């Protein structure tokens, strides 16, 4: 059934299963077994890369300056709108395969490069196709409030989402055509204010979606306090979170999804991971893969979390497995090696798991096998011929 049957000492397990027949036995001598990694925040369905904007950023342009010059999210929205569903699915599939080879077995995937109902649904249908045809786990998020569409005010966009988008999603959910797990809003100065964010998240919660949104990234917006009050499952970014917001999230058991790639690439203030951990916040990690932060690799995210956010390697591993699964409402089935949980695991070509974090960008010869639901879905031959050291 794809679930873990036993975990423990080798000799105990050998005795327990001495009569059993196995399809395949993998010798892990000198290797290490870990839970599959969970990427708690990505935007992987889009067309039209933004490599030209990277040069602008390096020359000193801020995120909001690029956004106001018609770049940023609006550039991607235009290209995604023009792309066919098949084109989007093809690139999405390749991106998921790259995430899988870097050890991610469960990935949160957001819409949000449509902003109009038709394109948002196109993105969600692409995710639905991947859920049915690929082994990797997907938690899908409706993020129609990712930016205010051109020609609309934030209030008009909010009305459109609450009155048109969400009722349609509810209808498609009931008919079984699209299964969305989470609702997201970019709560930010000049995008969606606290009141609009509240309306959208509340309306999403009413149709059974988990609240999991972008907050306190560029300005302190009191997003953390709002999320705690609404019973949010998770809030992402939080570079500008207040001390009160951190305490509120800890009390509400609302996960903080920290994105060290974004802070690094946009040269923002690093999220206060240490303070959050000390206050008892459940800290998770995500790659924030998108045209603005092009990173597929959770091992690299963990490395950045340790170096730039001062997390320990143990904390980073927990944040990229069990805590990231918690942020997606999946910690009862994913994120750790326990009997009854889904058999998602990695076999590392090293006797010490820490190499996965220590070797920055080294996962291509470190990750030997990726297993989902007990089935080997990626086998890395380079590990057999090369030492990981």
In order of start, what are the domains of the chain with their CATH numbers?
A: 3-32+343-379 (no CATH), 35-47+83-328 (3.20.20.140)
**By three-state DSSP, how is residue 215 classified?**
strand
Rounded Cα distance between 112 and 45, Å, is 9
Quick check: 216 and 244 in contact, CB under 8 A? no
Quick check: 142 and 204 in contact, CB under 8 A? yes
Rounded Cα distance between 185 and 188, Å, is 9
Asked whether the CA dihedral 185, 189, 192, 196 is positive or negative, the reply is: positive
Per-residue pLDDT at 385 = 72
Tokens 């970019």 -> residue: 186
The residues near 180 (Cβ < 8 Å, ≥ 6 apart) are: 124, 140, 141, 142, 169, 173, 209
Q: Is 220 exposed, middle or buried (0-12, 13-18, 19+ CB in 10 A)?
A: middle
Per-residue pLDDT at 389 = 65
Candidates 202, 183, 102; CA nearest to 144 is 183
Greatest Cα pair distance, the chain, in angstroms, is 68
H helix intervals, 207-238: 223-230
Quick check: 283 and 303 in contact, CB under 8 A? no
Rounded Cα distance between 280 and 254, Å, is 10
Quick check: 39 and 324 in contact, CB under 8 A? yes
Quick check: 166 and 195 in contact, CB under 8 A? no
Rounded Cα distance between 60 and 267, Å, is 10
Asked whether the CA dihedral 78, 84, 90, 96 is positive or negative, the reply is: positive
- Tell me what percent of the chain is helix, strand and coil, each rounded to the nearest 5: 45, 20, 40
pLDDT in tens, the chain (389 residues): 999 999 999 999 999 999 999 999 999 999 999 999 999 999 999 999 999 898 888 899 888 888 888 788 889 999 999 999 999 999 999 999 999 999 999 999 999 999 999 999 999 999 999 999 999 999 999 999 999 999 999 999 999 999 999 999 999 999 999 999 999 999 999 999 999 999 999 999 999 999 999 999 999 999 999 999 999 999 999 999 999 999 999 999 999 999 999 999 988 999 999 999 999 999 999 999 999 999 999 999 999 999 999 999 999 999 999 999 999 999 999 999 999 999 999 999 999 999 999 999 999 999 999 999 999 999 999 887 767 66
Beta bridge partners of 186: 214
Q: Which helix (H) or strand (E) holds 34?
A: strand 32-35
Per-residue pLDDT at 379 = 97
Q: What's the DSSP call for residue 165?
A: I
Beta strand segments in 200-349, E: 210-215, 234-237, 255-258, 283-285, 345-348
The residues near 51 (Cβ < 8 Å, ≥ 6 apart) are: none
Quick check: 239 and 270 in contact, CB under 8 A? yes
Q: Do strands 367-372 and 137-145 pair parallel, antiparallel, or not at all (unpaired)?
A: unpaired
Quick check: 354 and 376 in contact, CB under 8 A? no
Quick check: 337 and 353 in contact, CB under 8 A? no
């Amino acid at each position: 059934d794809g679930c873990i049957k036993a975990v423990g000492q080798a000799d105990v397990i050998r005795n327990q299963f001495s009569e059993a027949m196995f399809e395949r036995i993998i010798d892990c001598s000198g290797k290490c077994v870990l839970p599959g990694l969970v990427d708690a925040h990505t935007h992987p369905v889009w067309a039209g890369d933004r490599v030209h904007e990277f040069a602008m950023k390096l020359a000193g342009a801020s995120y909001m300056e690029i956004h106001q010059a018609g770049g940023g999210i609006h550039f991607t929205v235009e290209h995604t709108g023009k792309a066919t569903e098949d084109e989007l699915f093809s690139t999405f599939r390749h991106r998921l395969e790259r995430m899988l080879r870097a050890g991610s077995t469960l990935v949160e995937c957001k819409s949000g490069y449509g902003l109009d109902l038709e394109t948002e649904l196109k993105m969600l249908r692409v995710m639905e196709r991947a859920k049915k045809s690929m082994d990797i786990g997907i938690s899908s998020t409706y993020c129609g409030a990712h930016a205010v569409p051109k020609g609309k005010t934030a209030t008009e966009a909010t009305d459109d989402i609450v009155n048109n988008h969400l009722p349609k999603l509810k209808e498609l959910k009931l008919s079984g055509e699209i299964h969305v797990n989470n609702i997201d809003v970019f709560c930010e100065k000049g995008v969606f204010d606290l009141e609009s964010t509240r309306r959208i998240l509340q309306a999403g919660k009413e149709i059974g979606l988990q609240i999991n949104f972008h907050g306190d990234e560029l300005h302190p917006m009191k997003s953390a306090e709002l999320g705690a009050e609404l019973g949010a499952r998770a809030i992402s970014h939080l570079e500008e979170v207040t001390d009160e917001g951190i305490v509120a999230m800890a009390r509400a058991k609302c996960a903080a999804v920290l994105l060290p790639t974004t802070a690094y690439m946009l040269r923002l203030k690093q999220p206060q991971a240490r303070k959050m951990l000390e206050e008892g916040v459940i800290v998770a990690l995500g790659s924030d893969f998108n045209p603005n932060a092009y990173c597929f690799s959770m091992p690299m995210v963990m490395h950045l979390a340790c170096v730039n956010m001062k997390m320990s390697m143990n904390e980073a591993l927990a944040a990229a497995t069990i805590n990231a699964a918690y942020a997606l409402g999946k910690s009862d089935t994913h994120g750790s090696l326990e009997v009854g949980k889904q058999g998602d695991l990695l076999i590392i070509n090293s006797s010490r798991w820490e190499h996965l974090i220590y070797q920055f960008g080294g996962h291509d010869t470190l990750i030997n096998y990726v297993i989902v639901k007990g089935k080997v879905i990626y086998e890395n031959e380079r590990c057999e011929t090369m030492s990981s050291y």
